[in-house]
Amino acid sequence: MAKKTRILILKTLVACTFLVFALFPIILFISSSLKKETEVFDYRIIPQHITLDAFKEVFESLDVLTGIGNSLFVAVMVTVLALIIHSMAAFAFARLRFPGKRALFMWVLSTMMIPFPVIIIPLFFIIKGMGLVNSLWGMILPMVPHAYGVFLFRQYFIEMPDALYDSARIDGCTIFQIFRKIYVPLAKPMFITLGVSFFVTNWNSYLWPTIVAQDQSKYTIQIQIATLMGSLRISWNLILAASVVAVIPTVIIFIFLQRYYLEGIKMTGIKD
């Protein structure tokens, strides 16, 4: 019993140590946003003079609500479209039989080996040809198709018992009914896990929106934060304050969905 107690204490101490190292940058990040510009690099957890001037200046100098609205629209639309398309494609790869299925799936997976910067130029010309430059849909559509979601959904669907699919077919259900009424409800943890991942990724996206957006009305919050970095002077307290504002929506979403997110990670073997 004494040995088990010592081991438990040791594990607790190790966990607390890792927790301190994990939380320290976050606490310092929030703390620095409440400091004056001259105190930002004074690495004290508690500011000498707590002030909200940086937040006030951010809201006065940037159209923050428009930036957040644009980011929210882009992230939500990419997430919704990606979940629909990826799950349907994955269901086809997992349960349907058609010629060339394995080769097609390998081709889809091979796209994961192509870095995004490699396809930026041809992708831009495609979007330009569609007349979507300087539009939110120009930011959305290229971000929807990728192999990551298809692969994980497929692995999840494969783990489901074959009897579910076979029984539904015997009962006269169409393929779409099987997908919508059986597989989608059972895959709820996977939908939430990938949904959170897609949302956060596209909320934090900077490179592609910067290329597509050409006027301030189309700027996302990430582009707005970048505009605070002048060529001669960088106000780090403003950047930190704007970053705190930008991170709030993702934190709120994760807090409410963390149970499903962690469940999906556990069931699919994803490791961050």
For the stretch 3-26, pLDDT in tens is 778 788 888 888 888 888 888 888
For the stretch 27-54, pLDDT in tens is 888 888 888 877 777 777 777 778 888 8
Output the CA torsion 65→71→72→78 (10° steps): 160
Do residues 160 and 183 make contact, with C-beta atoms less than 8 angstroms apart?
yes
Nearest to residue 247, comparing CAs of 25, 16, 15? 25
Do residues 26 and 14 make contact, with C-beta atoms less than 8 angstroms apart?
no
What are the start-end ranges of the E strands in 108-209? none
For the stretch 201-236, pLDDT in tens is 999 999 999 999 988 889 999 999 888 886 567 778
What is the value of pTM for the model shown? 0.83
Residue with tokens 């990551």: 148
Q: Which domains are delineated in the chain?
A: 1-51 (no CATH), 52-268 (1.10.3720.10)
